[in-house]
Structure 1
Amino acid sequence: MNDKLDILIFGAHPDDAEIGMGGTIAKHTAAGYKVGMCDLTYAEMSSNGDVETRQREAAEASDVLRLHTRINLGLPDRGLSLSAEHIEAVTRAIRLYRPSVVFAPYWQDRHPDHVMCSQIVQEAVFNAKLRKYQPDLPAWIVPKVYFYFINDVYEANVIVDVTTEYEDKRNGLRAYRSQFEPAGSGNEYVATPLNQSYLERVEARDFLVGQKAGFTYAESFVSKNPIHIDYFGK
Structure 2
Amino acid sequence: MTETVDILACGAHPDDIEIGMGGTIAAYVAKGARVAFLTLTKAELSSNGTVATRQEEAARAAAILGVHARYQLDFPDRGLRDIKDAQLSQIVKLVRALQPQLVFYPHHDRHPDHGHCGQMVKEAVFNAAIRRFATEGVSAHRVKASYAYFINGIPAPSFLTDVSAVYEQKKQALQAYESQFTPADGVSTPLTDAYIDTVIGRDRLLGKEAGVQFAEGFYSDRAPVVANLLEG
Task: Check the 8 A contact 1:86/1:120 in 2, yes or no.
Answer: no
Partner of 2:148: 147
Query: Structure 1: which amino acid aligns with 2:193?
Result: Q
Once the two structures are superposed, the pairs formed by residues 24-173 of structure 1 within 5 Å of their partners are 24-80=24-80, 81-106=82-107, 108-136=108-136, 137-173=138-174
- How many residues are treated as equivalent by the alignment? 229
Shift of 1:133: 1.3
Partner of 2:212: 215
Q: Deviations over 1:141-196 (max 9, x none)?
A: 111101100012211111111111110000000000000006xxxx2210000001
Task: Check the 8 A contact 2:104/2:147 in 1, yes or no.
Answer: yes
Task: Check the 8 A contact 2:89/2:135 in 1, yes or no.
Answer: no
Partner of 2:20: 20
Which stretches of structure 1, 4 residues or more, deviate above 3 A after TM superposition?
A: none
Shift of 1:89: 1.5
Q: Distance in 1 between matches of 2:151 and 2:201?
A: 13
Task: Check the 8 A contact 2:10/2:104 in 1, yes or no.
Answer: yes
Aligned residue for 1:33, secondary structure, equals coil
Q: Distance in 1 between matches of 2:147 and 2:105?
A: 7
* Worse-matched range after superposition: 145-154 or 83-92: 83-92
Task: Check the 8 A contact 1:38/1:72 in 2, yes or no.
Answer: yes
Q: Deviations over 1:42-97 (max 9, x none)?
A: 11110001110001000110110010000101111111133212211211110110
* Worse-matched range after superposition: 145-154 or 131-140: 131-140
Q: 1:199 aligns with which of 196, 200, 220?
A: 196
Aligned residue for 1:196, secondary structure, equals coil
Q: Distance in 2 between matches of 1:49 and 1:176?
A: 9
Give the alignment's TM-score, normalised by structure 1: 0.95
Task: Check the 8 A contact 1:9/1:104 in 2, yes or no.
Answer: yes
CA RMSD of aligned residues (A): 1.1
Shift of 1:135: 4.1
Q: Distance in 2 between matches of 1:230 and 1:54?
A: 40
Structure 2 unaligned blocks of 5 or more: none
Aligned residue for 1:194, secondary structure, equals coil
Aligned residue for 2:169, secondary structure, equals helix
Aligned residue for 2:164, secondary structure, equals coil
Shift of 1:233: 2.8
Q: Distance in 2 between matches of 1:99 and 1:7?
A: 5
Structure 1 unaligned blocks of 5 or more: none
Task: Check the 8 A contact 1:82/1:119 in 2, yes or no.
Answer: no
Q: Distance in 1 between matches of 2:125 and 2:199?
A: 28
Shift of 1:24: 0.5
Task: Check the 8 A contact 1:8/1:101 in 2, yes or no.
Answer: yes
Q: Distance in 2 between matches of 1:230 and 1:159?
A: 16
Give the alignment's TM-score, normalised by structure 2: 0.95
Task: Check the 8 A contact 1:10/1:103 in 2, yes or no.
Answer: yes
